[in-house]
Chain A
């Protein structure tokens, strides 16, 4: 069993659905980070059976919206001086900007591409977001 230790100051992203860890690792650009990072796959979990987790040996800015979109069930623990100083529980973001793409082929965003498109959450259960321009619902 792996333990969350060995980090003096940093971030642990835990309870990632098994298989999503790599996606998050890439999305947060941790492959380019110059601090120590670890991606642990398929760790045993009481809650999930199997889970992925990520350790970052530094406190960096992470985009919570991106994480919420990929896996709203994960937890983020901030560690300082080997102690947990903050635990962030994620939820689906109410609005996301510049991450999702509209699936409607008739949407103006398919021709005018210099846009940071805002999507608004319309149905959390179905994970549905609405395009600000054409109102088309996109589910994750």
Chain B
């Protein structure tokens, strides 16, 4: 039972619990009208201590599509935080009003701290460079929908693998399934941290900086943005940001049924010329993100498949 639980990091849920959420998401996708009133009378608090419009919209859309309502703040300066209220106090007060809370915070571990003091479920919507579990659920649901199974896939992760928390979480989440091969594609400066690969004891993996060479064997290609704010040096950023640009030429060597994922927003790493390629599923991925959040909210509030 997921009722009343918090989601702070993907491994908070067992593989079976994740499967419950995905099954419910599938049902919502099949017949969204059935769920129009599923959260009627329920309130979602969105506590965004730093702005993230996409993520906030995704949660708000999810709750509104379930017939629930939302309130909250979208930056710390407009909230009681600016008066110096602690996170533990804020969540206790919010718990008096709302049924469930979503928290985005620049400090790592903030949602976990909140969950310790909270009477209502807390969902981590991103804490610094640490975790972003609903992005991972989004990625997993997308893979599951297109590939039918997590197992028996070769997944290439490309771009900023050093700071990319979405990559770290996804690798950790996928490593719980069998027979997955990981290919880490990054320039030497942005290589995957060794503490991630150290944990891949039961899986095959290799590292390369060459996307062209790696692409033919991939079933899934997960592209990430090279983030400007991670660099001290503009020149270094400019050199690396164009390092991998996925275009028609590179895709020519890819499998016909490979899927391309990206957490969005993209900058330079995927050429718009491939947006209409059937393998480019990143915009659909955003849609899956909303559906999986609907399923998550419903589950944490104790709802289920409506028959």
Contacts and interface: CB of A to CB of B under 8 A. Distances in A.
A109 B87 CA distance: 11
Interface string A67-92: 00000000000000000000000000
B195 interface: yes
B113 A134 contact: no
Interface in B105-121: 105-110, 112-113
Interface in B72-114: 86-88, 105-110, 112-113
Interface string A110-138: 11101100000000000000011111110
Contacts of B128: 106, 134
B108 A136 contact: yes
Contact of B130 (A110, A111, A115, A135): A135
A3 B113 CA distance: 50
B108 A114 contact: no
A134 B195 contact: no
B86 A114 contact: yes
A73 to B, nearest CB: 26
B113 A106 contact: no
Looking at chain A's contact residues, the main secondary structure is: loop
Contacts of A35: none
A108 interface: yes
A115 B86 CA distance: 12
B32 interface: no
Contact of A132 (B86, B87, B112, B129): B112
Nearest to B129: A106
A114 B195 CA distance: 30
A138 B294 CA distance: 37
A108 B195 contact: no
Contact of B108 (A104, A115, A137): A104
A114 B129 CA distance: 23
Contacts of A39: none
Among B87, B113, B128, residue most surrounded by chain A Cβ atoms (within 10 Å) = B113
A133 to B, nearest CB: 3
A105 to B, nearest CB: 10
Contact of B88 (A112, A133, A134, A136): A112
Band of interface residues on B: 10 to 19
B110 A108 contact: yes
A106 B106 contact: yes
Nearest to A110: B107
A33 interface: no
Contacts of A112: 86-88, 110, 113
A131 B107 CA distance: 13
A59 interface: no
Nearest to B111: A108
Interface string B129-167: 110000000000000000000000000000000000000
A64 to B, nearest CB: 26
Contacts of B110: 108, 112, 133
Nearest to A131: B109
A52 to B, nearest CB: 35
B88 A107 contact: no
B226 to A, nearest CB: 20
B107 A108 contact: yes
B195 A107 contact: no
B195 A111 contact: no
25 contacts: A106-B108, A106-B129, A106-B130, A108-B105, A108-B107, A108-B108, A108-B110, A108-B112, A108-B113, A110-B107, A111-B87, A112-B86, A112-B88, A112-B110, A114-B86, A114-B88, A132-B112, A133-B108, A133-B110, A133-B113, A134-B108, A134-B109, A134-B128, A134-B130, A137-B195
Query: What are the nearest 7 A-B pairs in CB distance?
Result: A133-B109, A134-B108, A108-B109, A108-B107, A134-B109, A108-B110, A106-B128
